[in-house]
Homo-oligomer: A and B are copies of this chain.
């Protein structure tokens, strides 16, 4: 008999016995995206091979990752898309929405504030803050930009969980210090600066120049290899001519 909806497991609330590896955590959003896409296409059940393909990872890795969350598949069948999606959503903590403040409403801050993709992924841009008086009061993405004097007040009043730092590099440490003092324990930093935070505060950084530099390294390597090859060929050629 095909089991219909897994009522029992759905009621049992919190598996993940203790500690999901960090590398796995970083891939859960990827699986969630893949599952959402399958769900939109009306797929009800998926095997680890198919899901791995959709998410662009190795299927053994996918299965091992999922095994850290619990035993949510059915041998011989695969995974129920909606059910697994729900489990991952719960594991990541996206059954609730998280309130986010963006600090530094310049080029990047504007783009982030106007981005529509966060809402559908569990985040609500709740406030925008900038130090520049001239920006205060400006309306961006339906929100008034607040002056940074109000930062602590905004964080407390709006019950903000996550701070996104998009200020110039030289201001990043001071801004992080302030939000941490105001009780924030999760920060996403776009400024190219080394920022220190106390134990217990999660700091992630996105550095676009670094990404480009890593690409440049590989690009150069390819070119260098090509040149070396050419040089070798040149020697061969020289030999041939001489010989």
Residues of A within 8 A of B (CB): 14, 25-26, 28-30, 32-34, 54-56, 91-94, 98, 100, 107-108, 110-112, 114-115, 117-118, 121-123, 161-162, 164, 185-188, 192, 194-196, 200, 202, 204, 206-222, 224
Contacts and interface: CB of A to CB of B under 8 A. Distances in A.
How many chain copies does the complex carry?
2
B219 A25 contact: no
A181 B194 CA distance: 38
Given A219-B93, A222-B185, A213 B122 contact: yes
Given A111-B110, A212-B162, A28 B217 contact: yes
A34 B194 contact: yes
Given A108-B115, A186-B215, 15 more contacts: A25-B218, A29-B207, A29-B214, A33-B192, A56-B194, A56-B195, A93-B220, A98-B216, A100-B212, A108-B111, A121-B213, A123-B209, A162-B219, A188-B212, A206-B206
A56 B185 CA distance: 19
A100 B215 CA distance: 11
B121 A217 contact: no
B219 A28 contact: no
Contact of A188 (B91, B187, B211): B211
A162 B93 CA distance: 36
Given A29-B213, A206-B208, A210-B29, A107 B111 contact: yes
A94 B162 contact: no
Given A123-B212, A219-B162, A54 B194 contact: yes
Contacts of A220: 92-93
A70 to B, nearest CB: 15
Contact of A209 (B14, B56, B121): B121
